[in-house]
């Protein structure tokens, strides 16, 4: 059975850190204000606005220390990441989860943070939250149901979402443990200590800025490693800003995914609101969900534990 971290209440502390790419102090102002309006105390890590002078929010040692501090601090009940980018892979093997395992807390983020989701679920059976990060609070969309979905998740509301049908959908119903995130990070996790199983799971994938041929290659990596043979269903989120080569690949991202999955008979949903766009609902990784792909709409509902 997966361990669900304690849900938060007003007065609890949420930590903000950047374990990967750089984020300026200015970009967390709106996020911090929103969290405080929700009644939470915000603790800002040293890597927010880090002065590394390069792509990262700090050196590997600085980013590791900042994240480790938040993981070990018993007063911090959830960790919300500033941004993803790249960098968690460089420090994941050095992170100590000893105290975290004894006193779990919500880990909230997506993109590069996918590696933390897969690592924590695969090794410790602890649920995490794939969802918007600090930068999403700067959106001009008001009210913003996507950032608000974080509040609902961490305060204990059962998550339930719907979206419209897509022409590539394969109808059906499935129940399973929800796992997934960024396709690049899922593919890179294969064969490492962060590797994951898909049997009995609903797998979701999304990505941004990848070459179309590389999306094809990463999906074949999942296929060759058996990840596409055993899931109960697959949810396809946004694939944003995909790039093509001078000689065109010949398919867009959704067509690539559709054609690779055509040999399987499980339900498939395209266009679900998860990914690098504004439409990015918070989802509980490691928790059981029920997916229904119908002709007119798709629903994903957390199963009562």
| Res 18 pLDDT > 70 | yes
83-87, 227-231, 301-305 — which is least confidently predicted?
301-305
What is the Cα–Cα distance from 35 to 39, expressed in whole angstroms?
7
Q: Quote the CATH superfamily of domain 160-302.
A: LD-carboxypeptidase A C-terminal domain-like (3.50.30.60)
Residue partners of 110: CB distance under 8 A and separation at least 6: 84, 130, 131, 132, 133, 181, 182, 206, 274, 275, 276, 280
Which sequence positions are flagged as catalytic?
A: 111, 206, 276
CA distances from 191 to 195, 222, 224, 297 (A): 6, 11, 12, 36
Mean pLDDT estimate for the chain: 96
pLDDT digits (tens, 9 = 90+) for 232-281: 999 999 999 999 999 999 999 999 999 999 999 999 999 999 999 999 99
- Kindly list the domain boundaries of the chain, sorted by start residue: 13-154, 160-302
Q: Quote the CATH superfamily of domain 13-154.
A: Murein tetrapeptidase LD-carboxypeptidase, N-terminal domain (3.40.50.10740)
| Res 305 pLDDT > 70 | no
| Confidence at 117, pLDDT banded by 50, 70, 90 | very high
| 118-134 average pLDDT score | 97
Rounded to two decimals, the pTM is: 0.96
């Amino acid at each position: 059975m997966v361990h669900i971290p304690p849900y938060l209440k007003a007065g609890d502390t949420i930590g903000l850190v950047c374990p990967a790419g750089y984020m300026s102090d200015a970009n967390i102002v709106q996020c911090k204000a929103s969290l405080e309006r929700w009644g939470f105390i915000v603790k800002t890590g040293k890597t927010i606005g880090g002065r590394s002078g390069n792509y990262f929010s700090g050196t590997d040692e600085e980013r590791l220390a900042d994240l480790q501090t938040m993981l070990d601090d018993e007063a911090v009940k959830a960790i919300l990441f500033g941004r993803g980018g790249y960098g968690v892979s460089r420090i994941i093997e050095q992170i100590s989860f000893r105290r975290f395992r004894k006193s779990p807390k919500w880990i909230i983020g997506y993109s590069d943070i996918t590696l933390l989701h897969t690592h924590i679920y695969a090794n410790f059976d602890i649920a995490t939250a794939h969802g918007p990060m600090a930068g999403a609070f700067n959106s001009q969309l008001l009210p913003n149901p996507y950032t608000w979905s974080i509040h609902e998740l961490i305060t204990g509301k059962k998550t339930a979402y719907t979206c419209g049908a897509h022409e590539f959908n394969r109808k059906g119903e499935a129940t399973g443990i929800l796992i997934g995130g960024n396709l690049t990070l899922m593919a890179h996790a294969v064969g490492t200590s962060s590797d994951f199983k898909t049997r009995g799971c609903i797998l979701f994938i999304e990505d941004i800025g990848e070459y179309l041929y590389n999306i094809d290659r990463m999906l074949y990596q999942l296929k060759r490693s058996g990840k596409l043979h055993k899931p109960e269903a697959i949810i396809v989120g946004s694939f944003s800003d995909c790039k093509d080569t001078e000689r065109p690949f010949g398919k867009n991202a959704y067509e690539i995914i559709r054609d690779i999955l055509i040999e399987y008979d499980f339900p498939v949903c395209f266009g679900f609101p998860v990914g690098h766009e504004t439409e990015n609902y918070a989802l509980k990784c490691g928790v059981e969900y029920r997916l229904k792909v119908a002709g007119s709409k798709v629903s994903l509902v957390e199963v009562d534990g």
